[in-house]
A and B are shown apart, each in its own frame.
Chain A
Amino acid sequence: MKRRDFLKGCMICGAASSLGISKKAWGSGSFEGYPEGMGVLVDLTRCIGCRSCEAACNKEQQLPEPKVPFDDQSVFEEKRRPTEAAYTVVNRYEQSGGPVYRKVQCNHCNEPACLTSCFVNAYTKTKEGAVVYNSKVCVGCRNCMIACPFNVPGYSYSSATNPVIKKCIFCYDTRLKYGKPPACVEICPQEVLTFGHRNDLIKIGHERIRETPDKYVDHIYGEKEVGGTGWLYLSSVPFDKVGFDNTLGNEPIISNVKEFLGTVPMVLSIWPALFTGFHLLSTRQKGHGDDHGHDAHSKSEQEGAKK
């Protein structure tokens, strides 16, 4: 093989392969969240488990009628998670001081793992702080479900022709966009949910803790967790007792992946030179080693055919 031919081949393939990753670098930059982002402060100490928020969400998002009506308390026997049919669920945790209820929905992370893991970029973090998604491009790899540290996104498995990701969108289309609080917040009779700028909510949270330190655990869940989330929680019992994962750490999920992404340009730039070098070194003494095995036959085949 002539060296020129080799280089040609190398370039064709190199071009093809780098096309995929050259745009990579900018995607992995860190993202701090929008300063004007909105959020919701959830005060678990106030929640009575009435499930009105579930009902309001169901109506607002036009979800299917649930099997068990919203005033039925039997659902608390099990721990539920958000699904395609319910973007938010309330779970009950029996504690020594009585039951504690916890509303689960998308936390609208500052640096959403779902967003960074999606290979068609279906997710968007809007400037209002909502994490929304474009179901028109969702391929259905369900990587975002793997990535979400809070196990939020659901998938409409039941649909054969158009299954997509389904999750809480902070009522973005119908409310948040117009500055209005989401349906679940508005309906809550106990004022468990406080809607506002995330920065203000953090202040409010700390204030509540300072005012009644006996009532609260001195921590706002979501202030720092996985890079900070739009929805924040106050609790009277340790968070891991009521279904929160305390082991997530404060680094956004994408930080784990950066180490690998960092090696990509390195491999791309060093490998071709390295292996071309190997090739030249190892074939120099042997001359052109093309006439072996299968090749030997092909040559004589061509010659034979010409005769």
Chain B
Amino acid sequence: MKTFKAKGVEIVDSLYKDNGKKKWNLMEKLLLGLTPQQYIAQALRNPFNWLLAVIFAIGIPIILGRFIFGLGWVTHSSCDYPWGMFLGFGLFAMVPLSSSGFQLGTTCEVFGRHDFEPIERLGLLNGLLGYLFAVIYLLVDLGQPWRLPYPMVVSFGPAAVLFLVAWHVATYLSVQVAEVSVAFFEWIGFPMGKRGVRKITLGLTVAGIILSTLHQGALGALFTYAPGKVHPLWYSASFQWLHFFVSSLPGGLCMVIAVSTIARKTMAWRCGEEFKDNLDKLTIALAKGASMGLATYLTIKLIAMAHDNKWEYLATGWGQWYMFEIFFGVILPLGLFAYAIRNEKVGIIRFSAFLTVFGVVLNRVNTAMITFNWKLAEREIPHWREAVISVTIFAIYIVVYRFILYRLPILYLWKTADETVEATEGARVPKKAILEEEPVPVGTYRTREERIIPAASFSSLEKN
């Protein structure tokens, strides 16, 4: 991409091209303003895409196989370990890492901290995609995914925590779609939709806070159904939901730091000036929030320990594993954050953000899988197909994430009409695309509901 930009190829960042004379059509927007040849060339040049291609080549057939041959084919179909990697990693770890949406929404919209705005949309998008893929993991894991709407329409089990999770994740997902749609409306050129959403932003944000508090906690509360199965060190009847909720706070913030770090490195061409200039400052600010969350988390972990008097378990093998998790996932990042914030060492902050993300994931995987059924003699090692599917879905997650970041104004600002840009040389219009030679007058918005075609998500762009 950098090479194209240097050559003066115009990259889509507003509704109009050629000094505001012509409007980009959808195909051009999807191709970022490159010609199809240029696009494919840059996609092939990126070694990461080759890696993805290999993952998909193996993973997609296995995902299809899961639906043809059933769960028994991809998992060990164990009755003692009904939840494997799809939920242990996919659902329980993705959701806390997606709490960034509601946190940044709250900071900007409720507390009026508009200085966080350059990163707000990244936080929202991170939330949306995290939830979306948590649901996709869930769909793969459910025995009969086509019955997913049942708890909403067919049969209600309101005493179940999972019922609450299902309702909240579904509602919250729509809230997040609405929040992120602002960027989509800008990109597609539908200001009316955007204005509509802006009007209810605060309402959406507050709804997001409520829903997030409840379902982040609810995921923890799910384990209070299994008091004898989750290891006591990872279990606490009174504090389980608080543990999950509080640890999701630094989890989400650190995920944003982690993603912004990667985005800044691999797609600098797409990052707007505002984003680039403020990133370091914002990273420090996010880290402050994250360390507050971590400190609270550590405190309530200790309170829960003392409350249920579980110190004796620390002396066992499980205890060592527990201390490993707490040390590398909580205490170490906490210390590093404190040091790095004082000395403004952004690099260290980024490193410990990755560490925190690792800590949160490890905690969820520990609770749901590794220490689950600790009383049983046999531990279950996931089937290799299960692992392949988990990796593949995560790869799809990365591809979709990148696809959106490349296009929608998340990292950059959508340019206004009066800002001029250099003309494109020979940006050709693909045959099928709709020709729009003149600037279209306001009012004739096409509601082009063309969804992103899956094929397009494979062809991805080059790291610069």
List A residues at the B interface (Cβ < 8 Å): 1, 5-14, 16-17, 19-21, 23-24, 26-28, 81-84, 113, 116-122, 134, 137-143, 145-147, 149, 151, 153-155, 157-164, 245, 247-249, 253-254, 256-257, 259-261, 263-264, 267-268, 271-272, 275-276, 278-279, 282-283, 286, 289-290, 292-295, 297-298, 300-302, 304-307
- CB contact under 8 A between A13 and B416, given known A142-B83, A157-B77, A257-B221: no
Interface string of B149-166 (1 = CB under 8 A from A): 011001111111111111
Docked Cα-Cα span, A264 to B216, in Å, equals 12
CA A294 – CA B120 in complex, angstroms?
Answer: 10
Q: How far is the CA of A305 from the CA of B194 in the complex (A)?
A: 15
Q: Kindly state whether residue B464 has any CB partner on chain A within 8 Å.
A: no
Q: A116 and B213: CB pair below 8 A?
A: no
Which residues of the partner chain A approach B200 to less than 8 Å between Cβ atoms? 5-6, 8-9, 12-13
Q: Decide if B218 is an interface residue (CB 8 Å cutoff).
A: yes
Considering the chains assembled together, what is the distance between the CA atoms of A301 and B118 in angstroms?
Answer: 18
Tell me how far the C-beta of B69 lies from the nearest C-beta in chain A, rounded to whole angstroms.
6
B106 with A275: CB separation less than 8 A: yes
A272 touches B206 (CB 8 A): yes
Q: Measured between alpha carbons, how far is A116 from B68 in the docked complex, in Å? A: 31
| Pair A121/B157 contact, Cβ less than 8 Å | yes
Q: Across the two chains, which residue of chain A brings its CB closest to B78?
A: A157
With a CB–CB cut-off of 8 A, which chain B residues contact A275?
Answer: 106, 110, 206, 209
Query: Which residues of A lie under 8 Å from residue B73 when comparing CB positions?
Result: 160
Docked Cα-Cα span, A162 to B144, in Å, equals: 7
Residues of A close to B80: CB separation below 8 A: 81, 151
CB distance from B302 to the nearest CB of A (A): 19
For the complex, what is the distance from the CA of A248 to the CA of B229, rounded to whole Å? Answer: 10
Q: Knowing A260-B240, A278-B110, say if A1 contacts B202 (CB, 8 Å).
A: yes
Which residues in A have their C-beta under 8 angstroms from that of B241?
259-260, 263
Report how far A5 CA is from B168 CA in the complex, Å. Answer: 23
Measured between C-beta atoms, what is the minimum distance from B213 to chain A in Å? 5
Q: Does B347 contact A (CB under 8 A)?
A: no
Within 100-145 of B, Cβ neighbours of A (below 8 Å) are at: 106, 109-114, 117-118, 120-121, 141-145
Contact assessment for A10 and B156 in the assembled complex, using a CB-CB cutoff below 8 Å: no
Give the one of A23, A24, A162, A294 with max B CB within 10 A.
A294
Given contacts A118-B157, A146-B82, contact A13 B175 (CB under 8 A): yes
Cross-interface CB contact of A158 among B72, B110, B209, B229, cutoff 8 Å: B72
Q: Are B79 and A256 in contact (CB under 8 A)?
A: no
Contact of B142 among A28, A140, A153 (CB under 8 A): A140
**Chain A residue at minimal CB-CB distance from B278:** A293
> What residue in chain B is nearest A24 (Cβ atoms)?
B158
B333 in contact (CB, < 8 A): no
B198 with A143: CB separation less than 8 A: no
A158 to B414, CA, bound (A): 51
In the complex, whether B182 has a CB less than 8 A from a CB of chain A is yes
Taking CB atoms, residues of chain B closer than 8 Å to A83 are 79
Q: Which residues of B contact A248 (CB under 8 A)?
A: 227-228
- Please name all residues of chain B whose beta carbon is closer than 8 Å to the beta carbon of A159 when the two chains form the complex: 70, 72
Given the complex, which residues of B lie within 8 Å of A245, measured CB to CB? Answer: 228, 375
Chain B min CB distance to A248 (Å) = 6
Take A13-B204, A137-B154 as given contacts and tell me if A1 and B199 are in contact as well, using a CB distance cutoff of 8 Å: yes
Main secondary structure of the interface of A (DSSP, over half): helix
A268–B210 CB distance below 8 A: yes
B413 in the interface (beta carbon within 8 A)? yes
Contacting residue for B224 out of A12, A256, A302, CB 8 A: A256
Q: A21-B164, A286-B112 are in contact. Are A139 and B151 (CB under 8 A)?
A: yes
Q: Using known A-B contacts A118-B160, A120-B156, determine if residue A142 contacts B143 with beta carbons closer than 8 Å.
A: yes
Chain A residues, Cβ within 8 Å of B427: none
Residues of B within 8 A of A6 (CB): 200, 202-203
Task: Say whether B385 faces chain A, with CB atoms less than 8 Å apart.
Answer: no
**Which residues of B are at the interface with A, using a C-beta cutoff of 8 A?**
15, 67-73, 75, 77, 79-80, 82-83, 106, 109-114, 117-118, 120-121, 141-145, 147-148, 150-151, 154-168, 171, 174-175, 182-183, 186, 191, 194, 198-204, 206-207, 209-211, 213-214, 217-218, 220-222, 224-229, 237-238, 240-241, 274, 375, 409, 413-418, 442
A81 near B79: Cβ-Cβ < 8 Å: yes
Q: With A146-B83, A163-B71, A261-B161 as given contacts, are A283 and B210 in contact (CB-CB < 8 Å)?
A: no
B124 to nearest A CB, angstroms? 11
Known A1-B198, A157-B71, A256-B225; contact A17-B79, beta-carbon cutoff 8 A: no
Supply 20 A–B pairs (Cβ within 8 Å), ascending by A: A10-B206, A16-B174, A20-B171, A21-B164, A26-B158, A27-B157, A83-B79, A120-B151, A139-B143, A143-B162, A145-B82, A158-B70, A160-B70, A163-B143, A260-B224, A267-B213, A271-B206, A298-B414, A304-B416, A305-B417
Looking at B143, B164, B229, the one whose CB has the most chain A CB atoms below 10 A away is: B143
Q: When the two chains form their complex, are residues A289 and B114 in contact, meaning their CB atoms are under 8 A apart?
A: yes
Residues of B contacting A295 in the complex (Cβ-Cβ under 8 angstroms): 198
CB neighbours of B228 from chain A (8 A): 149, 245, 247-248
In Å, the complex CA distance between A272 and B203 comes to 9
Cα A254 to Cα B240 with chains together (Å): 14
Other-chain contact of A293, B109, B110, B114, B415 (Cβ < 8 Å): B114
A9 touching B210, Cβ below 8 Å: no
B114 pairs with A13, CB closer than 8 A:
no
In Å, the complex CA distance between A236 and B218 comes to 42
Alpha-carbon gap, A109 to B141, bound state (A): 28
Q: How far is the CA of A305 from the CA of B186 in the complex (A)?
A: 13
A260 surroundings in chain B (CB, below 8 A):
161, 217-218, 220-221, 224, 240-241
Question: Bound state CA distance, A16 and B106, in angstroms?
Answer: 19
B209 partner residues in chain A, CB cutoff 8 A: 271, 275
B contact residues around A134 at 8 Å (CB): 155
Q: Is the CB of B225 within 8 A of A301?
A: no
Please give, as numbers and ranges, the residues of chain A lying within 8 Å of B112 by CB-CB distance.
Answer: 279, 282-283, 286, 289
With A and B bound together, what is the CA distance between A293 and B278 in angstroms? Answer: 12
Contacts of A119 in B (CB 8 A): 151, 157, 160, 162-163, 165-166
CB of A245, distance to nearest CB on chain B (Å): 6
Q: Is the pair A142, B160 in contact by a Cβ cutoff of 8 Å? A: no
B409: A residues at CB distance < 8 A: 294
Measured CB to CB, the closest approach of chain A to B90, in angstroms, equals: 13
Q: Which chain A residue lies CB-closest to B186?
A: A298
Contacts of A161 in B (CB 8 A): 70
Q: Which 5 A-B pairs have the closest CB atoms?
A: A9-B203, A140-B143, A20-B167, A9-B200, A13-B207
